[in-house]
């Protein structure tokens, strides 16, 4: 059952049994935009019937497997069966489907779930709104009381990630130019090696310009670059020249 805004909804039976376990050592923080090449993490499965296929590869592969660890989604490249229901995972891509912040540490004993289509119960996203607290309760066979869990809806999968590789410079006529590279909120693998798909209805950016932290103006652009001539700026002849800062966001369909 799901409880949203005080209304409890029965969503039926769960999917097939999942492969679950707990970690045997801590997993330290790591930037989400770099592969974690450190020691990895070992996981003790709940029982001997939970088996995972050994593999050696890259977490950037389109079919790289994925697991959930106490709120963080992680893709892995390598998996080794250590025996006794213990598996070691390495070459980790941290913070998948999340924001750009450095992902949090996980203590020993953190909950682990391997995510597979057959064992994943998807819930219609229109059931929730951003900021909602969603509570779930589940009755196992023979249970007299439900197990409960809750999560805040952060809308990360529908929020466009921030553009990257931003640059800003002054032009010979005293104007300002800026450029950047967009990112997609849908990761279907880097198939053509050129560009990711545009997951929004249109490519639209909102750019704000600041001089010495004071706002100058706000513009909308349909391409990943922007130019203002010296005639369009009021501080061209100012001494000393102000420090310029540009802020760019990709406007999403939501």
Specify whether the CB–CB gap between 95 and 32 falls below 8 A. yes
User: What value, to the nearest 5°, has the Cα angle with vertex 37 and ends 31 and 43?
Assistant: 95
The 3-state secondary structure of the chain reads CEEECCEEECCCCCCCCCCEEEECCCECCECCCCEECCCCEEEEECCCCCCCCCECCCCCCCCCCEEEECCEEEEEEEEEEEECCEEEEEEEEEEECCCCCCECCECCCCEEEEECHHHCCCCCHHHCCCCCEEEEEECCCCCCCCEEEEEECCCHHHCCCCCEEEEEEECCCCCEEEEEECCCCCCCCCCCCCCCCCCCCCCCEEEEEEECCEEEEEEEECCCEEEECHHHCCCCCCCCCCCEEEEEEECCCC
Instruction: Pick the closest to residue 168 from 207, 194, 196, 205 (CA basis).
Output: 207
Answer whether the bond into residue 203 is a cis peptide, omega within 30°: no
Instruction: Pick the closest to residue 22 from 68, 66, 53 (CA basis).
Output: 68
Say how far apart CA 15 and CA 120 lie, in whole Å: 6
* Mean pLDDT, each 10-residue run in order, the chain (254 residues): 77 84 94 87 95 94 91 94 97 83 87 91 74 84 87 81 90 90 76 74 94 91 93 74 90 88
In the prediction, which pLDDT does 177 show?
94
Specify whether the CB–CB gap between 106 and 27 falls below 8 A. yes
């Amino acid at each position: 059952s799901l409880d949203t805004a005080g209304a409890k909804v029965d969503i039926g039976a769960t999917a097939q049994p999942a492969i679950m376990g707990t970690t045997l050592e801590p997993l330290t923080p790591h930037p989400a935009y770099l592969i974690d090449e450190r020691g990895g993490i070992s996981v003790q499965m709940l029982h001997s019937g939970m088996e995972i296929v050994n593999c050696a590869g890259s977490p950037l592969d389109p079919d790289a497997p994925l697991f959930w660890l106490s709120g963080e989604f992680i893709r892995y490249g390598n998996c080794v069966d250590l025996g006794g229901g213990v598996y070691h995972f390495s070459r980790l891509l941290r913070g998948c489907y999340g924001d750009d912040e450095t992902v949090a540490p996980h203590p020993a004993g953190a909950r682990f779930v391997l995510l597979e289509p057959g064992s994943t119960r998807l819930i219609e996203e229109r059931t929730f709104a951003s900021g909602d607290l969603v509570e779930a309760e589940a009755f196992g066979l023979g249970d007299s009381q439900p197990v409960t869990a809750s999560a805040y809806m952060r809308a990360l999968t529908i929020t466009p990630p921030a553009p990257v590789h931003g640059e800003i410079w002054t032009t010979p006529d005293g104007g300002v130019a800026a450029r950047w590279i967009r990112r997609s909120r849908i990761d279907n693998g880097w198939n053509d090696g050129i560009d990711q798909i545009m997951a929004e209805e249109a490519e639209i950016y909102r750019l704000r310009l600041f001089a010495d932290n004071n706002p100058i103006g706000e513009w909308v652009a349909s391409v990943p670059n922007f130019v203002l001539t010296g005639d369009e700026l009021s501080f061209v002849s100012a001494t000393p020249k102000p420090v310029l800062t540009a802020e760019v966001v990709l406007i999403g369909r939501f």
